[in-house]
């Protein structure tokens, strides 16, 4: 049951990243401008998130690939929380990255067999 939830969480994380970074990219451009981050930073973050999302999906068939992408994605979500806090965004803007952070930590914990 827990493993099934973890696999579902991997898909939720990956699909969320794809939706935001591919289909809502105009919003990402505005946010990174608002945070005063460079186009290069945005490109590196976006590429990294899409690669990690891909690894989380591939990890469904190759579980050994899951831990590092889940932890790195979690780190990027902590970074997102920092920037939301830095520009004093309302809680409603912080919730998506917070939920993804919790999901990443859950996936990592299951991958480490801390939760079974």
Please give the span between the terminal C-alpha atoms of the chain, in angstroms, as a whole number: 9
Distance between CA atoms of residues 102 and 32, nearest Å: 23
Residue 28 has a pLDDT of 97
- What is the model's pTM? 0.95
Distance between CA atoms of residues 54 and 36, nearest Å: 28
Q: What is the dihedral of CA 57, 60, 61, 62, to 10 degrees?
A: 90
Residue 45 has a pLDDT of 98
Write down the domain spans for the chain: 2-111
Residue 113 has a pLDDT of 96
Distance between CA atoms of residues 44 and 94, nearest Å: 21
User: Who contacts 84 (Cβ-Cβ below 8 Å, separation ≥6)?
Assistant: 93, 94, 97
Residue 116 has a pLDDT of 84
Query: Average pLDDT for consecutive 10-residue bins of the chain (116 residues)?
Result: 97 98 97 96 98 98 97 98 96 96 98 94
């Amino acid at each position: 049951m827990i493993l099934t939830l973890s696999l579902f969480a991997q898909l939720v994380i990956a699909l969320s990243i794809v939706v935001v970074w591919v289909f809502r990219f105009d919003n990402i451009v505005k946010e990174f401008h608002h945070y005063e981050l460079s186009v290069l930073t945005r490109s590196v973050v976006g590429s990294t998130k899409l690669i990690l999302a891909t690894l989380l999906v591939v990890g469904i068939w190759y579980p050994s690939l899951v831990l590092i992408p889940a932890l790195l994605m979690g780190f990027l979500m902590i970074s997102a929380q920092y920037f939301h806090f830095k520009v004093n965004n309302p809680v409603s803007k912080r919730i998506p990255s917070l939920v993804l952070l919790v999901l990443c930590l859950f996936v990592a914990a299951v991958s480490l067999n801390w939760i079974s």
